[in-house]
Amino acid sequence: MTTKDDEKKEGPRGFAVVLQQIDEGALHGELSERLQALTKEIAEHVASSGNDARGSLTLTVSLAGRRNGTIEVTGDVKIKTPKVRRGGSVFWPTKSGNLSTENPRQGRLPLREVPGGAAQPRDVDADGRPARTV
**Tens of pLDDT, residues 71-95:** 999 999 999 999 877 778 988 888 8
CA–CA gap between residue 15 and residue 34 (Å, rounded): 19
Lowest mean pLDDT across 40-49, 53-62, 87-96: 87-96
CA 98, 99, 102, 103 torsion-angle sign = positive
Q: What's the pLDDT tens digit per position in 86-119?
A: 778 988 888 888 888 888 778 888 888 888 767 7
* Band of residue 68 on the pLDDT scale cut at 50, 70, 90: very high
List the beta bridge partners of residue 76: 60
pLDDT given at position 80: 96
Q: What is the pTM of this model?
A: 0.58
**Euclidean distance between CA atoms 93 and 113, whole angstroms:** 30
- Contact by Cβ (8 Å): 81, 38: yes
What is the pLDDT averaged over residues 119-131? 73
* Rg value, the chain, Cα: 34
pLDDT value of residue 5: 65
